[in-house]
């Protein structure tokens, strides 16, 4: 592979006794792990000069993996502002009579809150607590019996609930959970296995949390005494209540659990509401049911409004924990804000408009299929990432964007810089967003040089044959050199 570098820096003796940055980078990129691969990188000062520090294949379209979330969260912050909250409303189709009987239905009207029923975000509440609030609000409205159905209005979204280019291996697992205008409990559930201390034995399922009526799980999972990592994968399409699980889990004496995607998050939310109503002594004559056509809410009574945590706290989870579901939901929120249906295609159109409007990318710089980076078919240039990072430094919301990125000593974002502290290297001056999928290792973010001048950078490696961490160490070494620059 041939690398072409354009350098616009003053050579700095602090880098090493007889080695400048150019030769250092060139040496790093000769590592055998990059043989037959593609690598692109760019670093620029963001102090207004936009001076390039180095550039290599910066305009080559590469698969960004989860660094794509930097674009999605930037667009969301600029569109909604850091303090925006998403709302979920509960309506009654009529007023209860003097006996408290509602001769009608209850409607959940979701607003695409990605965090509903989840404590993953600061300020969030469990799905049980949310369902209890709904039921208590119904009781406070004087309703003692619902003769009709419980409906979830899913008309805000359209199209596939999973981006079309996501690999089949990922579908069914929690990190590729389907989106829904009515997300609930992060659209996931846990599968628990019975204790099995011996290797190469069947891993028997004991139960799920929460319990999902009608779900059939078939396990082909075995235990592995040598591998302590979870290598089990759930296979199941959206709305499909038959799932198969393959792979291995570690041997254990106490049991083991994995997380899988809820087949139908909205229906699960309705079931939770139904159970919570029953616990409040409110009988329901009808059944839970999802609908795709928006009813007329103007004649209904608003019973309860639930608000999400603030957007700034949501994007912290998107970037620092690289949570795909929240990124995909924010992408669809861009479409809703523009008055469109919340589809992946409409969301991508709005994301591209944001990039063009702010001169961050042209139509030739990106080929996007989702908002999280889960698809191997996504492509963008390192320059798009760096331009977005530099653009956000001028935003009034920059501090929230910056704080959403991981530090080298943060356990989030897959510990991409896990050796950065050996020895310690200015952790406070580094903020990163990583990306990892098959054959791809990417990292982008901010550092400060020796004079505390801010730098935005992006490094992307594609078509890697090895799954070892050598490329992570290369990227780590490049970041350390940027920290030592002394212009």
Q: Which helix (H) or strand (E) segment is 276 a member of?
A: helix 265-279
Question: Is residue 139 situated within a structural domain?
Answer: yes
Judgement on whether residues 127 and 148 belong to the same structural domain of the protein: yes
Among residues 301, 324, 349, the one where a domain terminates is 301
Angle between helices 470-484 and 21-28 (to 10 degrees): 170
Q: How many residues does the chain have?
A: 487
Token pair of 266, please?
């909205």
- Cβ atoms within 10 Å of 28's Cβ, excluding its own: 16
What pTM was computed for the model? 0.94
The candidate with the shortest Cα–Cα distance to 404, out of 389, 386, 422, is: 389
How many helical (H) and strand (E) elements, i.e. helices and strands, does the chain have?
10, 23
Determine the pLDDT at residue 46: 96
User: Exposed (0-12), middle (13-18) or buried (19+): which is 6, by Cβ within 10 Å?
Assistant: exposed
Among residues 301, 335, 370, the one where a domain terminates is 301
- Cβ atoms within 10 Å of 240's Cβ, excluding its own: 14
Q: Please give the C-alpha separations between residue 359 and each of 154, 352, 362, 363, 412, in angstroms, as whole numbers.
A: 35, 10, 7, 11, 31
Judgement on whether residues 295 and 161 belong to the same structural domain of the protein: yes
Query: Residue 385 sits in a domain of what CATH number?
Result: 3.40.710.10
Judgement on whether residues 101 and 241 belong to the same structural domain of the protein: yes
Query: Residue 103 sits in a domain of what CATH number?
Result: 3.50.80.20
Please write down the HEC assignment for all residues of 315-360: HHHHHHCCCHHHHHHHHHHHHHHCCCCCCHHHHHHHHHHHHHHCCC
- pLDDT tens over the chain, length 487 residues: 444 333 333 333 344 433 478 788 889 999 999 999 999 999 999 987 789 999 999 999 999 999 999 999 999 999 999 999 999 999 999 999 999 999 999 999 999 999 999 999 999 999 999 999 999 999 999 999 999 999 999 999 999 999 989 988 899 999 999 999 999 999 999 999 999 999 999 999 999 999 999 999 999 999 999 988 889 999 999 999 999 999 999 999 999 999 999 999 999 999 999 999 999 999 999 999 999 999 999 999 999 999 999 999 999 999 999 999 999 999 999 999 999 999 999 999 999 999 999 999 999 999 999 999 999 999 999 999 999 999 999 999 999 999 999 998 886 665 678 778 777 777 889 999 999 999 999 999 999 999 999 999 999 999 999 888 899 999 999 999 999 898 8
Question: Is residue 307 situated within a structural domain?
Answer: no
Q: Please give the C-alpha separations between residue 10 and each of 28, 48, 65, 449, 453, in angstroms, as whole numbers.
A: 20, 18, 32, 13, 14
**Greatest C-alpha distance within the chain:** 89
Q: Can you spell out the DSSP letters for 115-172?
A: TTT--SSTT---HHHHHHHHHHHHHHTT--EE-S-EEEE-TT--S-SS-TTS-TTTTT
Average pLDDT of every residue of the chain: 93
Judgement on whether residues 384 and 293 belong to the same structural domain of the protein: no
Phi then psi dihedrals of residue 367, to 5 deg: -135, 105
**CA pair distance 140, 145, nearest whole angstrom:** 12
User: Which pLDDT tens digit goes with each residue over 152-166?
Assistant: 999 999 999 999 899
Judgement on whether residues 66 and 168 belong to the same structural domain of the protein: no
Q: Which domain holds residue 165?
A: 86-301
User: Which pLDDT tens digit goes with each residue over 311-357?
Assistant: 999 999 999 999 999 999 999 999 999 999 999 999 999 999 999 99
Contact between 284 and 146 (Cβ < 8 Å): yes
**CA pair distance 320, 386, nearest whole angstrom:** 18
Residues 6+ apart with CB under 8 A from 204: 193, 194, 196, 219
Q: How many domains does the chain have?
A: 2
Contact between 413 and 322 (Cβ < 8 Å): yes
Determine the pLDDT at residue 15: 43
């Amino acid at each position: 592979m041939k690398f072409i570098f354009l350098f616009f820096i003053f050579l700095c003796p602090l880098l090493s006794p007889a080695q400048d940055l150019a030769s250092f980078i060139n040496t790093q990129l000769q590592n055998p792990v990059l043989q037959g691969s593609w690598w692109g990188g760019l670093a620029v000062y963001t102090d207004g000069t936009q001076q390039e520090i180095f550039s290599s294949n910066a305009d080559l379209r590469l698969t960004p993996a989860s660094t794509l979330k930097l674009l999605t969260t930037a667009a969301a912050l600029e569109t909604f502002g850091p303090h925006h909250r998403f709302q979920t409303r509960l309506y009654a189709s009529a007023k209860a009579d003097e006996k408290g009987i509602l001769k009608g239905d209850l409607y959940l009207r979701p607003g695409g809150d990605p965090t509903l029923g989840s404590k993953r975000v600061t300020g969030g509440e469990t799905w049980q607590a949310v369902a209890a609030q709904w039921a208590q609000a119904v009781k406070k409205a004087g309703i003692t019996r619902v003769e009709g159905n419980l409906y979830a209005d899913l008309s805000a979204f359209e199209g596939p609930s999973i981006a079309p280019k996501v690999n089949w291996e990922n579908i069914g697992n929690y990190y590729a959970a389907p989106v829904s205008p009515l997300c609930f409990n992060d659209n996931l559930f846990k599968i628990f296995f019975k204790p099995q201390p011996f290797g190469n034995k069947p891993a028997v399922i004991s139960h799920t949390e929460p319990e999902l009526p009608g779900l059939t799980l078939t396990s082909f999972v075995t235990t592995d005494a040598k591998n302590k990592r979870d290598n089990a994968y759930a296979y199941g399409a959206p709305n499909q209540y038959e799932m198969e699980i393959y792979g291995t889990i570690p041997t254990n004496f106490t049991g083991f659990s994995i997380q899988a995607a809820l087949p139908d998050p909205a229906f699960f939310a309705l079931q939770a509401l139904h159970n919570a109503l029953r616990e409040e002594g409110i009988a329901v004559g009808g059944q839970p049911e999802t609908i795709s056509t928006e009813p007329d809410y103007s004649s209904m009574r608003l019973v309860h409004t639930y608000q999400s945590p603030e957007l700034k706290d949501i994007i912290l989870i998107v970037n620092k924990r690289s949570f795909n579901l929240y990124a995909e939901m924010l992408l669809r929120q861009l479409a809703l804000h523009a008055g469109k249906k919340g589809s992946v295609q409409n969301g991508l159109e709005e994301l591209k408009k944001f990039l063009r409007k702010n001169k961050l990318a042209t139509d030739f710089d990106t080929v996007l299929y989702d908002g999280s980076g889960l698809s191997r078919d996504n492509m963008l240039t390192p320059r798009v990432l760096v331009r977005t990072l530099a653009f956000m430094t001028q935003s009034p919301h920059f501090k929230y964007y910056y704080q959403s990125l991981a530090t080298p000593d943060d356990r989030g974002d897959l510990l991409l810089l896990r050796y950065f502290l050996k020895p310690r290297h200015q952790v406070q001056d580094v903020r990163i967003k990583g990306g990892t999928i098959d054959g791809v290792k990417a990292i982008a973010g901010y550092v400060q040089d020796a004079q505390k001048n801010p730098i935005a950078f992006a490094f992307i490696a594609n078509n890697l044959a090895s799954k070892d961490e050598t490329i992570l160490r290369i990227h780590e070494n490049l970041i350390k050199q940027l920290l030592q620059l002394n212009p």
